[in-house]
Structure 1
């Protein structure tokens, strides 16, 4: 039985539908590429907790709309998953000293942990753009579906931030030193690379997604275990992961320091290496050092400990140098507000980052007992 799609929140940015024993979520902020606002994070937390505790819900799936057509019509379904968090909000809130900025990250990371530990099958339809916060609500899925349109990245160093939402955890678990490469460069990858790097499970034609979505709502499962068996037979058995060749990446991104990585890339005659070095030269030099440390620390951490570390880090991104002095505020200004694409990074060059500068980002402003994510 199909129930009417229900708009959650004043803006209708999250659409929720119960079909049979399936709970279906549609991110519905297409003009912003479904970027997550604080109300959207709260709505997702509320519905996922409710469905977790509802014995009638056996499986949950999430998708995004695109900028064409209107919700509920075939031309608007899929095509865009989620481009991340609402960075314009980050900029405004940081300059205004708005406490909602801290609330956003605490609640978003709580949502990321919930998705990663969800006890019922959770399927992410990662069609179109999947970046930043979009990775945070999909990487923990039981099945991560990508298509020929998937554009996946953790591009935070481009705005003076770091790959958060559990990025330390899931990137550090990519094969070889792919995690360092993706985190430092913010490089965009497609479906095949995503599967090879362990960031997706199965590639489907985008045209097949609406039928699969409808099948989720039409299949009568008696339990979540039955839904898991259906998933295993439909996806897992046929999704042999191709071996990813990471030798070229490992040769550079296994090196000890950012300067070593960039020097080696720039000395190479290889076109890919030179291009990669040029990309790194555009990123925040300070945050490159922070991010390299993040990925390597996270490799030995649990998910909860990584999220707590990232909560400390994001606090420091906005409070270590407050207001317009923040590296992150400056990065967002240049990319998304003034759009002059000329961030004034401090320090300006990789060579100017002094030893120990990154350490302050890993200092927690809270004790273990007062940490906002102490209950994860």
Structure 2
């Protein structure tokens, strides 16, 4: 029998099932590195809300897929091609995406049942938003973790101000501004993961969860802890590490200009390379991001997400600079990276030294009154 394209049934982008009292989620969009679209955000939210109120579900495990099967990739972030298309077309779904994604991030951070994230492979941007709030954050030797938003004229959202602000020392500033990619061991050392485990053992752990049969969330926690001990998956005992001294000193400075000047004067290879990374990022968004992170340290998670919702509106519709659509910093950054792929974004301003406070401060003015904010219900 022959078939045509109309006969092909595509698997859902999010797979879910409950086995033995544990809910299992698999992100299943491997050709897009499991990048989140609005449908996936809504599906994840529906699943987690249903399981939160289901007394027969005692915890959640989430993983990604790659082209060969389960694991090997977690989530590369939000679907930035959609962001570009929606911004250019004035599609209101762009607004819906960020409102619903940030609400999903809050749901995960405040989830009352164990939530175990298998952060194997790429974990970036939106992938951090659906994993950093987990009760247990597993990484492997294949993990590639980052918040690389300044590379596309955006900022580390999905609660980035909250979880990056909780890193030791000035690691949060370093990761937020540079977008530097780190591995699993570094993620554990910087409080962005709990356990680093061999990737070949992930299937074994997933199958163990399927056989636990817990009677409560607390029992699931006990069973998981015991299994990890028997597998010698122990929480590292060393204290969290900071940055190299010259980087720590630079990223503690008040402004982006001072940070870069300090790095360029330090003379070490690490400092020179870091300064070079910053020189390639959006100058405007570097200044916004530094302010974002420093404000976030004084905010609750809900307050931080509301601030980030304000920021992302301004990123695509930068009214105080008279920029939107193709002229916005974010759309230009996505164009250069993922659309035209010329890797030559035309940043405006083009130099870190040309960004003024009047360009930055209005990003933090909310477009909505408090009673009408799209995330006003978060607490």
Q: TM-score, normalised by structure 1?
A: 0.94
Aligned length: 361
Of 347-356 and 27-36, deviating more is 347-356
Alpha-carbon shift at residue 11 of structure 1 (Å)? 5.4
Distance 2:73 2:16 in 1: 17
Alpha-carbon shift at residue 356 of structure 1 (Å)? 2.7
What SS does the corresponding residue of 1:238 show, helix, strand or coil?
Answer: coil
Alpha-carbon shift at residue 355 of structure 1 (Å)? 2.3
Distance 1:359 1:235, change over 3 A: farther
User: Who is 1:238 aligned against?
Assistant: 234
Alpha-carbon shift at residue 242 of structure 1 (Å)? 2.5
Structure 2's unaligned 5+ residue stretches are 1-8
User: Who is 1:179 aligned against?
Assistant: 172
Give yes or no for contact 2:146–2:181 (8 Å, CA) kept in 1: yes
Distance 1:256 1:226 in 2: 47
Alpha-carbon shift at residue 250 of structure 1 (Å)? 1.4
Distance 2:10 2:301 in 1: 32
The equivalent position to 1:342 in structure 2, one of 341, 344, 353, is 344
The equivalent position to 1:167 in structure 2, one of 141, 160, 176, is 160
Alpha-carbon shift at residue 184 of structure 1 (Å)? 0.1
What SS does the corresponding residue of 2:137 show, helix, strand or coil?
Answer: strand
User: Who is 1:258 aligned against?
Assistant: 256
Distance 1:242 1:210 in 2: 27
Give yes or no for contact 1:330–1:343 (8 Å, CA) kept in 2: yes
Alpha-carbon shift at residue 296 of structure 1 (Å)? 0.3
The equivalent position to 2:137 in structure 1, one of 121, 133, 144, is 144
Q: Is 1:294–2:287 an aligned residue pair?
A: no
What SS does the corresponding residue of 1:369 show, helix, strand or coil?
Answer: helix
Of 360-369 and 101-110, deviating more is 360-369
Distance 1:83 1:361 in 2: 26
User: Who is 2:56 aligned against?
Assistant: 56
User: Who is 1:155 aligned against?
Assistant: 148
Alpha-carbon shift at residue 238 of structure 1 (Å)? 2.3
User: Who is 1:15 aligned against?
Assistant: 15
What SS does the corresponding residue of 2:66 show, helix, strand or coil?
Answer: coil
> 1:68-107 deviations in whole A, cap 9, x for unaligned?
2xxxxxxx11000000000000000000000000000000
Distance 1:50 1:114 in 2: 12
Distance 1:10 1:39, change over 3 A: farther
Of 244-253 and 130-139, deviating more is 244-253
Q: TM-score, normalised by structure 2?
A: 0.93
User: Who is 2:5 aligned against?
Assistant: none
Distance 1:323 1:252 in 2: 35
Alpha-carbon shift at residue 301 of structure 1 (Å)? 0.6
> 1:238-278 deviations in whole A, cap 9, x for unaligned?
20343213342311100110000001111121001000000
The equivalent position to 2:99 in structure 1, one of 87, 91, 106, is 106
What SS does the corresponding residue of 1:81 show, helix, strand or coil?
Answer: coil
What SS does the corresponding residue of 1:125 show, helix, strand or coil?
Answer: strand
1:355-366 correspondence runs (5 A): 355-366=357-368
Distance 1:151 1:353 in 2: 31
User: Who is 1:72 aligned against?
Assistant: none
1:51-130 correspondence runs (5 A): 51-68=51-68, 76-130=69-123
User: Who is 2:124 aligned against?
Assistant: 131
User: Who is 1:5 aligned against?
Assistant: none
Give yes or no for contact 2:144–2:184 (8 Å, CA) kept in 1: yes
User: Who is 1:209 aligned against?
Assistant: 202
Alpha-carbon shift at residue 353 of structure 1 (Å)? 0.5
Distance 1:241 1:129 in 2: 25
Structure 1's unaligned 5+ residue stretches are 1-8, 69-75
Distance 2:163 2:20 in 1: 32
What SS does the corresponding residue of 1:356 show, helix, strand or coil?
Answer: helix
User: Who is 1:34 aligned against?
Assistant: 34
Give yes or no for contact 2:170–2:242 (8 Å, CA) kept in 1: no
What SS does the corresponding residue of 1:26 show, helix, strand or coil?
Answer: strand
Distance 2:95 2:251 in 1: 32
1:277-356 correspondence runs (5 A): 277-320=275-318, 321-356=323-358
Give yes or no for contact 1:195–1:242 (8 Å, CA) kept in 2: no
Alpha-carbon shift at residue 235 of structure 1 (Å)? 4.5
